[in-house]
Amino acid sequence: MKQPIISFKNVIKCYDDDVPVLKNVSFEIEEGKFYTLLGPSGCGKTTILRMIAGFSEPTEGDIYFEGRRINNVPANKRQVNTVFQDYALFPHMDVYDNIAFGLRVKKLPKNQIDQKVKEALKMVQLAGYEKRGINEMSGGQRQRVAIARAIVNEPKVLLLDEPLSALDHKLRLDMQYELRELQQRLGITFVFVTHDQEEALAMSDEIFVLNNGNIVQSGTPVDIYDEPINHYVADFIGESNILNGTMIKDCLVEFAGKRFECVDEGMRENEPVEVVLRPEDLDLTDEEHGKLKVKVDTILFRGVHYEIICYDDEGNEWMVHTTKKAVPGTTIGLYFDPEDIHVMRFNESEEDFDARLESYED
Amino acid sequence: MKKYNAFFAIPYFLWLVFFVLAPVILIVGYSFFDSNGNFTLQNYATYFASGKYLAMTFNSVLYAFLITLLTLVISYPTAYFLTKLKHRDLWLLLIILPTWINMLLKAYAFIGIFSLHGGINRFMTFFGLAPHQILFTDVGFMIVATYIQLPFMIMPIFTGLEELNPSLIKASRDLGANAFQTFAKVVFPLSLAGVKSGIQAVFIPSLSFFMLTRLIGGNRVITLGTAIEEHFLVTQDWGMGATIGVVLIVAMFIVMIITGEKKKGGRN
């Protein structure tokens, strides 16, 4: 394996009040990939970003950049640039001067600066905006200037601190495509911080899901979505139906008062577990053909699909996403395949989880 | 809705008419009459022809400039470090506190401190130095004027620095600038608005100090303020006094224009 570009080794961060914001975090980031740190506010994701940027030092543990320890290297000496949440564009400079800032600090010759700034502007589709004042630009345009100002310095790693959170929905979706494309074109490592799971799923090569100062799960978007490690991840990423159940034996699980065939293995017999079923994996059928009998409670039109809330005989709530319509008050059947069931053990570490999955997959 | 807005503007409008517009018109009016009440341009002719008044004007501007410069040099670092302190509100209060005390009282306090048997000279004799004349000197006047003007310079600069978005400083560091470059390229330019309003708040009143010139400067420092006072209260030549007043008003406008806010944003 290639040497990781950034690695955190047992990093702990405490602020004044001694409650650690990061509790022993270790991870590695490879060159040229799009990483996302995903978690709710206060989970420590921004703290990690600040440490990579050099605005914060770990209380314990080490941070390495290309194998070199950088705990005490100040921000201006790191080959890392940041796109700030509020963009942090210099209001007393025009677009050109903002983007040229880093290059001028490095004392590059004028014609080189000129060429690089123009290239960066073209890259973010703002060619011709050089002389524009920052206050004359829209949120989306400022966002692009902030990105141009960072990438013009050709950093090895680009950090993005919730850069899309201030944009409206439509623009946010467009920017997701653009950021992804930009990252692939430039080939540099992106570390993107967000609390928005949709953003994370859409753009990332690799997601770190954080909670309470710990990395709970890391993996590709598909891995994390299809095989969440625990209740927290399943609930945070996407919509899900999570039920308590019992693992009768390998590939047989009991929940909602019935036994179902599944594809999960490696657990103790009769171990209490949690079961995840994604709303879009549930199909509506009639009572006889369904694996579960449920009563329709409410139905919401969501545009691309209906969101139907039903209750089974045991009182468990089931959310179904479907293009079919159902009538509230009627009893219907729910159908799902064995692969649609995902079983989670309580308190399983990521290591054990990965090892168990590997033992029976392929 | 519009009616309401106009209604609420009445007190301000009246204030403007009676206490801003009317006095200015009166001053300008008086400046065109001699002491016998005849219309004349003689006041302006005297003002610009006699070296006495021009020297006084030059003196005023020079002293105001020096006082402003001195306050600025002291205030900027003070304001800067104030933004880094933990108990900012307390420190700020200590800086504002002296402005609540009547200027006359402060002037008399300084007479006590500066006099031949005052605090400073006693302190100096304690170390074996001969007592010095501080009171009724230019230096004494400058020190007291600067002391009195300091809060009016510190406050706007402090406010300007505190309003500075901290992520701009981070952005500058992130882009490779060291602490000094960050200050020169980001912090200082963005605090200029505060510096400008500080200069306005200090320079303009400093042009027309008259009590201090008498009490601390011992009338050795003659500024336009002193001259106006003399004309109105002593020689009773209101026309000439008003003329100097007009010159001061014009000078203030010039300062306002020079230090005024320019449109930001790098438009071509």
Question: In chain B, how long is the greatest CA-to-CA distance?
Answer: 74
CATH number at residue A326: 2.40.50.140
* B172 contacts in chain A (CB < 8 Å): 90, 101
| Among A55, A91, A132, beta carbon nearest to B170 | A55
Beta strand A214-219 with A206-211: parallel, antiparallel or unpaired? antiparallel
Let me know if residue A173 belongs to a domain.
yes
Can you give the three-state secondary structure of A98-113, one letter per residue? Answer: HHHHHHHHCCCCHHHH
Residue B5 clears pLDDT 80, i.e. is over it: no
Q: Is A131 exposed, middle or buried (0-12, 13-18, 19+ CB in 10 A)?
A: middle
Residue-wise pLDDT for A77-125, tens only, equals 999 999 999 999 999 999 999 999 999 999 999 999 999 999 999 999 9
Residue B108: alpha-carbon gap to chain centroid: 20
- Check A153 against B176: CB less than 8 A apart: yes
Whether residues A82 and B170 touch (CB distance < 8 A) is answered with yes
What's the domain count of chain B?
Answer: 1
Q: Is residue A105 located within the same domain as residue A188? A: yes
Q: Are residues A47 and A166 in the same domain?
A: yes
Residue B265 has pLDDT above 70, yes or no: no
Angle at B228 between CA B222 and CA B229, to 5 degrees: 85
Q: How many CB pairs under 8 A join A and B?
A: 81
Which residue has 């997959």 as its token pair?
A361
Q: Where are the beta strands (DSSP E) in A39-169?
A: 60-65, 68-69, 80-83, 157-161
Residue B196 has pLDDT above 80, yes or no: yes
Nearest 10 degrees: CA dihedral of B14, B17, B23, B24? Answer: 150
Residues A154 and A251 in one domain: no
Domain that holds residue A356: 239-279+336-362
Q: Output the pLDDT for position B4.
A: 67
Q: Answer whether residue A235 shows pLDDT above 80.
A: yes
Q: How many structural domains compose chain A?
A: 3
CB-based contact, A94 to chain B, within 8 Å: yes
Cβ distance of A53 and B168 shorter than 8 Å? no
Domain boundary (A226, A247, A267) is at: A226
Q: Is the predicted pLDDT of residue B263 greater than 60, yes or no?
A: no
| Token digits of residue B3 | 């009616």
| Residue A215 and residue A246 share a domain | no
For an interface test with B, give the residue of A49, A78, A79, A93 to mutate (most B CBs within 10 A).
A93
State whether A105 and B177 contact (CB < 8 Å).
Answer: yes
B174 neighbourhood in chain A, CB within 8 Å: 53-54, 75-76, 80-82, 150
Q: How far apart are CA B29 and CA A89, in angstroms?
A: 51
Nearest C-alpha neighbor of A155 from the set A297, A32, A60, A298: A32
CA A101 to CA A116: how far, in whole Å?
Answer: 12
The confidence score (pLDDT) of residue A160 equals 95
CA-to-CA distance for B152 and B197, rounded, in angstroms? 9
Mean pLDDT of A254-283: 92
Strands ordered across the beta sheet of A80-83: A80-83, A157-161, A189-194, A34-38, A206-211, A214-219
Whether residue A40 is found in the same domain as residue A13: yes
d(CA B174, CA B172): 5
Is the CB of residue A7 less than 8 Å away from at least one CB of chain B? no
Q: Could you tell me if A100 lies within 8 Å of chain B, comparing CB atoms?
A: no
CA distance A95 to chain B (A): 9
Which CATH number belongs to the domain containing residue B130 in this structure? 1.10.3720.10
In a domain, B140, yes or no: yes
Dist CA A91 CA A102 (whole Å) = 16
Structure tokens given for B138: 């230019």
Of A200, A226, A252, the last residue of a domain is: A226
Query: Are the Cβ atoms of A105 and B190 closer than 8 angstroms?
Result: no
| pLDDT tens profile B101-139 | 888 888 888 888 888 888 888 888 888 887 778 788 888
Residues A156 and A199 in one domain: yes
Predicted pLDDT at B225: 82
Same domain, A188 and A206: yes
Residues 6+ apart with CB under 8 A from B119: B112, B113
CB atoms within 10 A of CB A231: 15
Question: Is the separation of the CB atoms in B225 and B210 below 8 Å?
Answer: yes
Tell me if A76 and B168 make a contact (CB, 8 A cut-off).
Answer: no
Residue A260 has pLDDT above 60, yes or no: yes
Q: Which residue from A minimizes the CA distance to B175?
A: A102
B189 touches chain A (CB under 8 A): yes
- For residue B19, tell me if it sits in a domain: no
- What is the span of the domain harbouring residue B83? 50-259
Q: Do A274 and A158 share a structural domain? A: no
Chain-chain contact of A88 with B167 (C-beta, under 8 angstroms) = yes
Tokens of A182: 């930009």
Can you tell me the distance from the alpha carbon of B247 to that of B94, in angstroms, rounded to the nearest whole number?
36
> Is A284:A266 a contact under the CB 8 Å cutoff?
no
Residue A168 sits at φ, ψ, to 5 deg, of -75, 165
Query: Do A18 and A85 belong to one domain?
Result: yes
Report residue A358 CA to chain centroid gap: 23
Contacts of B186 in chain A (CB under 8 A): 90
8 Å CB contact of A153 and B175: yes
Task: Find the mean pLDDT for residues A331-356.
Answer: 92
DSSP sequence for A311-343: EETT--EEEEEESS---TT-EEEEE--GGG-EE
Q: Which of residues 128-167 of B touch A (CB under 8 A)?
A: 165, 167
- Note whether residue A234 is domain-resident: no
For residue A1, tell me if it sits in a domain.
no
Asked if residue A287 has pLDDT above 90, the reply is no
**CA atoms of A20 and A271, how far apart (whole Å):** 33
Residue A54 touches chain B, beta carbons under 8 Å: yes
Give per-residue pLDDT as tens, A271-281.
999 999 999 99
Domain presence at residue B60: yes
- Residue B76 has which token pair? 């900027």
Query: Is residue A308 assigned to a domain?
Result: yes
Average pLDDT over residues A271-298: 92
A340 and A329 share one domain: no
pLDDT at B237: 84
pLDDT at res. B266:
37
- Determine contact, residues B129/B212, Cβ cutoff 8 Å: no
Q: Name the DSSP class of A134.
A: G
Give, for A29, the enclosing helix (H) or strand (E).
strand A20-29
**Together in a domain, A255 and A162:** no
A258 touches A292 (CB < 8 A): yes
Beta strands of A184-337 (E only): which ranges? Answer: 189-194, 206-211, 214-219, 241-249, 252-255, 258-261, 271-277, 283-285, 292-301, 306-312, 317-322, 331-335
- What's the pLDDT score for residue B262? 56
| Interchain CB contact of A92 with B (< 8 Å) | yes
Q: What percent of chain B has pLDDT over 90?
A: 36
Q: B38: buried, middle or exposed (CB in 10 Å: 19+, 13-18, 0-12)?
A: exposed
In 3D, which of B71, B101, B112, B91 has the Cα closest to residue B198? B71
Q: Are residues A198 and A98 in the same domain?
A: yes
Q: What is the pLDDT of residues A9-53, one digit of tens each?
A: 999 998 877 788 998 899 999 999 999 999 998 899 999 999 999
Return d(Cα A292, Cα A282) in angstroms, integer. 10
**Are A90 and B174 within 8 A, CB to CB?**
no
Contact check, Cβ <8 Å, B175/A84: no
Strand extents, DSSP E, A133-240: 157-161, 189-194, 206-211, 214-219
Any domain includes B253: yes
